[in-house]
Structure 1
Amino acid sequence: MHKEPKTIPHINEEKAAEKISNFIKDKLNESRTQGLVVGLSGGLDSTTTAYLCAKAIGKDKIMGLVLPSETTSDEDVQDALTVAEELGIKHKVVHVDEFIEPFKELLAQSNGEYDTKLANANLKARIRMMILYYHANAMKRLVVGTGNRTELLVGYFTKYGDGGVDILPIGALYKTDVRQLASYLNVPKSIIEKAPTAGLWAGQTDEDELGIKYELLDKLLHLMVDKKLEDHVVAEELEIPLDEVLRIKKMIKSAEHKLKPAPLVEIR
């Protein structure tokens, strides 16, 4: 019996970087805008995206926004600033907590009736989106998303938050692909090896929240989505419980609405 490989085929870093750079340039030209705005979190995805933008159009047409809150680590802020300085792009820091403050009275009205942890986290992501678009509109630029294929497939992003963007340069790359491309682009090793986090609450990490390591998740998604293998075959290939495969499959199904325009009723 033929066995599927348990690793994702490696991308050609040079070709991927070139193709993504051309994509960025083409979308910028098509939009007839004057540049790009990208959020810098100090993490792998946003850093790699910023490096690709700089490769595509040069530093002068890029604005990097660092959007920390009280749950953002000092390390992440410093890494984001270091990336902006190394690339030579214009950048600024906008603290989002003061924008969240007016919502606190509204949120307090729930009186503990609802679990607002996720709602608060999504609010933070949506405020960041508004700040990015404010600058993009004012500067006549595009908002560049930093989501990868792994996050998009399982819905690990906020609808109309970090999912509210104009283009997604690394949206076809799994997380492991992004790490590979980041090494090729000479992204600092400390950023590549850092535990991924959205910084939406204290101590939050992506892998803890997802309940699975990215390396395994990417293999699972590759076999399930790209190879279209049956659930039990995926479980056997990766030597993991079938329940885990079904859990991820449910996440993919639940995330489908995030990747589509809002539905409407056909009248004619």
Structure 2
Amino acid sequence: MGMSMEKVEKRIVEFIRDYVRSANAEGVVLGVSGGVDSACVAFLCSKALGGENVLGLIMPEKGVTREEDVEDAIEVCKKAGIKYKIVEISDILQKFKGISSCDRDIALANLKPRIRMVLNYYYANCLNRIVAGTGNKSELMVGYFTKYGDGGCDFLPIGDLYKTEVFMLAEHLGVPERVIKKKPSAGLWVGQTDEDEMGISYKVLDAILKRIERGEIEKAIEEFGKDSVDKVRDMIARSEHKRSLPMAVSLRDLLD
């Protein structure tokens, strides 16, 4: 698997280099959370472009983001050799709360990654750079991301790697062990973890997704049960809109 990860690293690094060049950009900006996905992307972008051409934005929320996550994000940026900037988002969140009486928890939860997306693009525009996304294949397939939030980016370096494969790549790249071993979390509220929110472990999710992608539904049901497979298929179906461009009404037949 080590040799396989070397090939994966090489292909992604070449892709990043070519993509940034084709965009006539001078580098990339990415959000660095202290988690394994953004850590891998930070390391890969640094290898592709040089650390001086990569800016990691660390965007904590006061009272929600754990101090250890900020420390891990800083450590990742330092070890990857990239520049970083800490931008606290609580004041921005409060501005939104002040103009709306919305009390839906999901609205506030989705607002946080959308604020971070705006900050990523602000700095990217200022620096003539593009935004590197940190989403992995598992999350993209089941829609475990915020539309126009963490899903808002210009390209996805690890978008074809399942979460379990990201962990293997992280070990290969030399991502700090504490980052690799911590429970994955989007940091949307205190104590939140990805697996608890989805109701399924990444190990099982990835195994089911691989079967689905190969068209091996019956084998998936045999291995993991109909309820688990139906749950994953439902997640894929309900999140289809997140993976598509906005729909437009077809009118050409009436006008042309």
Give the TM-score of the pair, scaled to structure 2. Answer: 0.95
Alignment partner, residue 33 of structure 2: 41
Q: Is the 8 A contact 1:17 1:52 kept in 2?
A: yes
Q: Does 1:29 align with 2:21?
A: yes
- 1:195-235 Cα distance to aligned partner (Å, 9 max, x none): 0000011100000001011011000000012x1112x4312
Counterparts of 1:180 and 1:105, CA distance in 2: 44
Q: Does 1:189 align with 2:182?
A: no
- Residue type of the alignment partner of 2:182: K
For residues 231 and 77 of structure 2, the distance between their equivalents in structure 1, rounded to whole angstroms, comes to: 38
Alignment partner, residue 148 of structure 2: 160
Query: Equivalent residue of 1:233, what SS?
Result: helix
1:234 lines up with 2:220 in the alignment: yes
Provide the residue aligned with 2:84 in structure 1: 91
Deviation per residue, 1:211-266 (Å, 9 max, x gap): 011011000000012x1112x43121x2x331111011000011111011101122
Tell me which residue corresponds to 2:43: 51
Q: Say which structure is richer in helix.
A: 2
- Residues 114-154 of structure 1 deviation map (CA, whole Å, 9 limit, x = unaligned): xx111101001100000010000010101000000000000
Structure 2 unaligned segments of length 5 or more: list them.
none
Which residue does the alignment assign to 1:5? Answer: none
Whole-Å separation in 1 of the counterparts to 2:99 and 2:228? 38
CA distance in 1, matches of 2:76, 2:168: 18
Q: 1:130 aligns with which of 101, 118, 122?
A: 118
Counterpart in 2 of 1:266? 250
Report the Cα offset of residue 10 of structure 1. Answer: 9.1
Partner of 1:220: 208
2:67 counterpart of 1:74: yes
Unmatched segments (≥5 aa) in structure 1: 1-8
Give 3-state SS (helix, strand or coil) of 1:235's partner: helix
Q: Rate the CA distance shift 1:127–1:11 in 2: closer, same or farther, 3 A.
A: farther
Give aligned-pair identity as a percent: 45
3-state SS, counterpart of residue 32 of structure 1: coil
Q: Note if contact 1:10-1:177 (Cα within 8 Å) is conserved in structure 2.
A: no
Q: Which amino acid aligns with 2:170?
A: A
Matched, 1:253 2:253: no
Normalising by structure 1, we get a TM-score of 0.91
- Rounded to whole Å, the distance in 2 between the matches of 1:79 and 1:10 is 25
Structure 2 residue 197 is the aligned partner of structure 1 residue 209? yes
